[in-house]
Structure formats: C-alpha cells, structure tokens
Chain A
Amino acid sequence: MAEKMEHSALTEAVYYILLSLYKPMHGYGIMQNIKELSNGRVSLGAGTMYGAINTLLEKGWIHPVAVTEEKSRKKEYQITEVGKEIIKLELLRLNELIKNGDDIAGG
C-alpha cells in the first residue's frame, strides 16, 4: 500500500515545494519562487504550505538546513535523496500524461 501511494500523483503544492527545494530555501522564498516558476498562476496559501512542509519533513522528502547566519531565525529546508526520487517518478508520470494528451487532444 505504501509503495502504491508513493506512485500516485503529487499535489501541485507538494510538487512545486519539492522543486523549489533543490536549493535551500525558507518559507517565504518558496512562496515567491513558486509564484515565479508558474508565472504568477500558483499562489500558495501560507497555511497550505505549512501543512505540506510538515508532512514532507515527516516523510523525509525534505530536511531542515542548519541556518548559518546568526540574525536569520527563519528555518530553511532542502530536498533529500528520497525527495529527488519522488520527483523523478512524478516527472515520468507527468510526461506520460502530456504525451497522451498531446497525441489525442493536442494540435
């Protein structure tokens, strides 16, 4: 069951959070980054992001990064190897969706 779950679709929030965290980033940075990546289409709610980050931490798909600057108390996160594997699987799935969509409905 657990294995099957790992192959099902990621939410848009989770997908974009994981992508953002290929570089270490804090919450506000993630939100800005996602907005940029999606050309302003995706505006992630702060509460939605908080819940997603906590779930991703629990699953070990991201990890907290030790903050070096003394002044900054903001927590930073980064994707783990497991997280990267998940993204690869998701990319396979998305590519399949796009290929089939293009073949059937695309111009």
Chain B
Amino acid sequence: MKHVIRKIFVDFEKEEKFLNEMSATGLSLTKYSFNKYVFEDAPKGEYIYRIELLEHPVEHLESQEYIQFMEEMGAELVTSYHRWVYFRKKAADGEFTIYSDNDSKLRHYKRIMLLFWFVIGLNMFIGLLNLFLGNLISSAGRPPINSYLSIVSFSLVGLLLLFLVIPLRKKIDRLENEKKIRE
C-alpha cells in the first residue's frame, strides 16, 4: 500500500533520519518529489537510507558512473530530485555510510552550501529586478506591484540565510575545526 507524506526539510541529515525512522516502522521510501514522500510497506527496518547531493545532474555520465559504483557496493538508487539522490541498502548487508571521513563530509557540505548560495543569489536577482520595475511603474503613476514582489524575494533571502546557510555553516565550521586535529 502506498502512503504519501508531505513534509519539507532544510537539513538533509534530519531528512535522512526521518526516512530511517519511517523504515524502522515498516514504511520504505520509493519516490520523492518536492515536499512529497511516497512510502510503501516493507519489513520493519529492512533498509538504511542515505541522501546525497551529486556534483552533476543525475543523467550526467559522471553521475551515472558513480551510481553504478554505488550499486556495485550493494546500494540501490531509490529516487532522485534534480541533483539530490536517495540511496538505500538492505540493513542485513551491514552499515551504510556514504562519507566516512571529515574531508569527504566537508566536500559534500560545501557542495550543498554552493547550491544554497545559488538559490539565494537567484532570489536576490529577482528581488532587485522587481524593485527596479516597481520604481519604474510607480513613477508612471501605477500601483507598484513589483515593489511588493521584491519584498517577498528579499524576505525569502533572509529566511534562506537564517534556516539554510547558518545551520550548514555551523556544521562546516565544526568539521573544519575537527579537521585541524583529526582526519
């Protein structure tokens, strides 16, 4: 039976935890698209889930090679969303981690950070564009709808900074610090 849960995560590690908790109760993820998780019944705790942001889109040759390698390692690509991929591995086959040392964890975090900044940059650009258009329209004596839209964009930038960038920055700083003395 299919179960749909709608949820938004800003932290992929919390999302991973959620998927593994669901798996422990006998619901395994089979499909993800924006804020929509589709689960199917499975034996309790059958799978361990891991989420990763790839460097390239899923269809890209390098991503395909990587996914094939993961399959050789006993993992299965469950679903993907843009560059985000959802892997799972049977818990009976032992533990499943993607990044096991500080260096590779950091590289992954930084890849995510870059994506966050890209989204923020895009919002900034749209906000500025609307601000400019709003001024233009209001000087023509019409209601400046675009100015209001720009406020939405700028607020979004603020929220993204607060809930995406700052928490991830903390994780990166902690790892960077740890890396000074440990591998």
Contact = CB atoms under 8 A, between A and B. Distances in A.
Interface size on B, as a range, is: 20 to 34
A34 B104 CA distance: 18
B11 interface: no
Contacts, number: 52
A60 B111 CA distance: 26
Interface string A51-84: 1000000000000000000000010000000000
B95 A47 contact: no
Interface stretch (B19-27, B64-72, B130-138): B64-72
B15 interface: no
Contacts of A27: 69, 72-73
Contacts of B69: 27, 46, 50
Interface string B84-99: 0000000000111111
Interface of B: 52, 66, 69-70, 72-75, 94-101, 103-104, 107-108, 183
Closest 5 CB pairs of A and B: A45-B100, A47-B98, A45-B97, A48-B104, A46-B73
